[in-house]
Amino acid sequence: MDALKRDALSRIERTLEAAVARAAAPPAPPRLAAALHHAVFPGGARVRPQLCLAVAAACGNDAPGLSAAAAASIELLHCASLVHDDLPCFDDASIRRGQPSVHAEYGEPLAVLVGDGLIVLAFETLALAGMERPDRLGPLVGLLGRAAGAPTGLVAGQAWESEPYAVLEDYQRAKTGALFVAATMAGATAAGADPLPWHRLGDRLGEAYQVADDLRDAVADTEELGKPVGRDAALARPSAVAEHGVDGAVERLYRFLDDAVDSIPACPGAGMLKDLVLLQAKRLVPKSLASTAA
C-alpha cells in the first residue's frame, strides 16, 4: 500500500512537472513561467489525482500514460481554481499551502493569467496523452470540462457566491464534488472501463472533503491549515458548519465516508481502494476534533 502510494505520487509529480515545464518553456515570459511553477509546486496532498490513479488501477490501468495525464489534468484544474479563488475579488487570501498566494507574490494580473494558463494546460496535457487512445480522449475532455466549467463545475460553484441565495448542497457539489466525480470517472475512462458506476464514489468523497474543509476552516488554526482560518464566517459563505453546527457537520462527514466505501463497485482493486478511502478519512478530520470524533 505505501509503495503503491509512493509510486502513484511520484507519477503524479513527474507528469505535473512535465506539463508545467511545457507551459513555462521559452519563449514564455519569465515571470509568468515562475508564477505557473509557484501555483503547482510544492503541491498539497494531491488527493484528487491520487483518487483518479487509484480508480484507474482498480480498473486494470491498461493505458498508464493516459491515466497519469488525466490525474495531472485534474490537479491542474484544481490548482487553477485555487489561484483564482485567492484573488482579491474572491477570498483575498495572501497565504496558500503555507507560502504566499500567487497574486501576493506575482501580482493580480499574473494570477489571473496563471489560472487561465493552467486550465488550458489541463486540456493540452490530456490531448497530448490522448493521441495514444483517441477513442478515450473525447469522453475525458468532456468529463473534465463538466467538472471545471458551468453549469455544474468549479466555475458554477464559485459563481454561487455571487448570487443572493444559494442552496448549500448545489454550491458544494459544484465547487468541490464535481472535481472528485471527475477524478473517479476519469480514472475509469482512462482505463477503458465504464465510468458511470464510479460516479457515486467521487460524489460522496467530494461531499466528505467539503464538509471537512468547512470544519477545518471553523476549528483549525492557521498553522495546521496553511491558509487563513475563519474565512467562511467572515465572508458569510454557505458552510456545513454554519448550517449544521460542528457536531452536525462531523456526523455528516462520517456518513459521507461510509457511503463512499459502500459505493465502491466490485472489482479486483476494491480492497485497496477501501483502504485508501479509510486512510483519507483519518486525514480529513481536523486534529482538534480527532479525539472527540473518533
Maximal C-alpha separation, the chain: 54
Stretch that binds a second copy, among 45-53, 118-126, 208-216, 251-259 (CB under 8 A): 118-126
Stretch that binds a second copy, among 7-15, 20-28, 241-249, 281-289 (CB under 8 A): 20-28
Q: State the nearest-atom distance from the C-beta of 286 to a second copy, in Å.
A: 28
Q: Where are the beta strands (DSSP E) in the chain?
A: 95-96, 99-100
Among 1, 2, 3, 25, binds a second copy (CB under 8 A): 25
Is there binding between residue 134 and a second copy (CB under 8 A)?
A: yes
CB under 8 Å to 78, separation ≥6 — which residues?
Answer: 48, 179
Q: State the nearest-atom distance from the C-beta of 108 to a second copy, in Å.
A: 4
Is there binding between residue 82 and a second copy (CB under 8 A)?
A: no
Q: State the nearest-atom distance from the C-beta of 179 to a second copy, in Å.
A: 12
**C-beta closer to a second copy: residue 121 or 218:** 121
What are 85's three cell numbers?
A: 479563488
DSSP code, position 235: T
Distances (CA, A) of 178 to 201, 229, 231, 274, 277: 12, 24, 22, 21, 18
Mutual orientation of helices 64-85 and 134-148 as an angle, nearest 10°? 20
**C-beta closer to a second copy: residue 154 or 218:** 154
Q: State the nearest-atom distance from the C-beta of 208 to a second copy, in Å.
A: 21
**C-beta closer to a second copy: residue 106 or 256:** 106
Taking each continuous run of H as one helix and of E as one strand, the counts in the chain are: 16, 2
**C-beta closer to a second copy: residue 41 or 90:** 90
Pick from 272, 241, 161, 154: nearest CA to 206: 154
CA dihedral 125, 65, 19, 138 (to 10 degrees): 10
Is there binding between residue 156 and a second copy (CB under 8 A)?
A: yes
Is there binding between residue 179 and a second copy (CB under 8 A)?
A: no
Name residues contacting a second copy, limited to 90-109 (CB under 8 A).
90, 106-109
Distances (CA, A) of 67 to 51, 77, 109, 136: 11, 15, 33, 11
Q: State the nearest-atom distance from the C-beta of 121 to a second copy, in Å.
A: 6
Residues that bind a second copy (CB under 8 A): 22-33, 36, 80, 84, 87, 89-90, 106-110, 112-113, 115-117, 119-121, 123-124, 126-128, 130-131, 134-135, 137-139, 141-142, 144-146, 148-156, 158-163, 166, 170, 174
